[in-house]
Structure 1
Amino acid sequence: MTAAGTEGRRSNRRGIATRESMLEAAVRCLASGDPGAVSASRIAKEIGATWGTVKYQFGDVDGFWAAVLHHTAELRGELPVHTDAALPLRERVSSIIETLYGGLTSTQSRAIENLRAALPSDPAELQRLYPRTAAELSTWGDSWLQSCERAFADLDVDAQRVREVAAFIPGAMRGIVSERQLGSFFDLDEARRGLTNAIVAYLEHSGRA
């Protein structure tokens, strides 16, 4: 009985190690930017695994992509939120902008951008074809909104405006990061300061009746 239990634990550890290896390989492959990397079977081959291994570990390709998203979210962690009452609105906004400016060029972010580019852009189609992946992406949106709400919860700002700001910041920052990657003629330090100033002006004292 003891030997069987020991073997079971070893098998479980091997399974966990295989799963982690596949997720890490997925991030590496997807981050390369190669459109052909968005293939679960190709990623499996990177570590000498088979499609059967993918199915055993994740169920199907939808389960695999959902697991990759969850894995990158764990690596990224939550957005650092400064809730010190003494911290001004401008510094809180600037912190979010700078955190995204640095984070959107990380290996994990490049991997997710490539994966999302290969998935259906229409939410209904994504939900139909990849329900688990769509559900994982939905939790990302919820988590981001909650982080933004916590960041300004103790300040005199309108809750609806915070939601609007939370909705446009990711796209705005991807645009600025894209400019950096392509080589911009603009001063991107000024671009980030301008975006920060605009958000501060929109939120400042907006909670007053």
Structure 2
Amino acid sequence: MTTEARVDGRRSNRRGAAGRAAILDAAVTALASGSPGSVSANRIAKTAGATWGTVKYQFGDVDGLWAAVLRQTAERRGELPYRENNRSPLPQRVGEIIETLFAGLTTSADARAIENLRAALPRDHAELERLYPNTAAELASWKDSWTHACQKAFADLDVDPARVKEVAAFLPAALRGLVSEAQLGTYSDLDEARRGLTRSIVAYLSPHSHN
């Protein structure tokens, strides 16, 4: 291969990566807006200055696009904020997880994009898996990765892994409920609500409650 061919190949790869990134950014922006037609791959392609053919080349189809959007937002979200040598007590760890989730759900464009995308997808798992198999697989993987992250966050403490799994199962939905209250307007004190949720989880996970 000549030097010119290698250079042209690298330029082509860079252009392809830039085009892919532009489409994903346009998809997240459109989905986060929640505007009518935001879940339209054709409209997203036009916003990114691309064609539907380019979207198909990069992602295969709309299922591949949605799966890629989910994967990118998961990568940007990262893991829970704990180091392997974390020495924080149980109440602080639970509180930080809750505050991290609440802040992400209330301020993150990625979170709004995912909520709007999920709202547009079929609710029935069988239908979702039939129509959007890659998207369904990506969403299903989130459950296991989230449970693993929670188990890892408390691994060095004397807590029941089964109870951590239960907390991992209900916590995202509980925080979405509080976020919904914040968005709709409420007379409830949501700071107090999060403190109460934290104390309830700590009490449930504390070793003395295992008996």
**2:80–2:153 Cα contact (<8 Å) kept:** no
Equivalences, count: 209
TM-score by length of 2: 0.94
**Which residue of 2 is the match for residue 138 of structure 1?**
140
Describe how 1:39-188 pairs up with structure 2 within 5 A. Answer: 39-81=40-82, 84=85, 86-105=87-106, 106-188=108-190
Shift of 1:124: 1.7
The 3 A distance-change label for structure 1 pair 133 and 206 is farther
Shift of 1:139: 1.8
Letter in 2 for 1:64: L
**1:22–1:44 Cα contact (<8 Å) kept:** yes
* Secondary structure at 1:104 match in 2: helix
Letter in 2 for 1:15: G
How far apart, in 2, do the equivalents of 1:96 and 1:136 lie?
Answer: 22
For residue 204 of structure 1, the aligned residue among 199, 206, 211 is 206
Deviations 1:56-94 (A, max 9, x none): 000011101000111111221112135556421111110
How far apart, in 1, do the equivalents of 2:160 and 2:65 lie?
Answer: 39
**1:176–1:188 Cα contact (<8 Å) kept:** yes
Question: How much is the aligned-residue C-alpha RMSD, in angstroms?
Answer: 1.5
**1:35–1:118 Cα contact (<8 Å) kept:** no
Letter in 1 for 2:200: A
Runs in 1 of length 4+ with deviation above 2 angstroms? Answer: 81-86, 206-209
**1:22–1:47 Cα contact (<8 Å) kept:** yes
**Which residue of 2 is the match for residue 11 of structure 1?**
12
Structure 1 window deviating more from structure 2 (85-94 vs 158-167): it is 85-94
**1:32–1:111 Cα contact (<8 Å) kept:** yes
TM-score by length of 1: 0.95
Shift of 1:207: 7.9
* Residue 26 (structure 2) pairs with residue 25 (structure 1): yes
Q: Gapped runs of 5+ residues in structure 2?
A: none
Shift of 1:158: 1.1
Shift of 1:126: 1.1
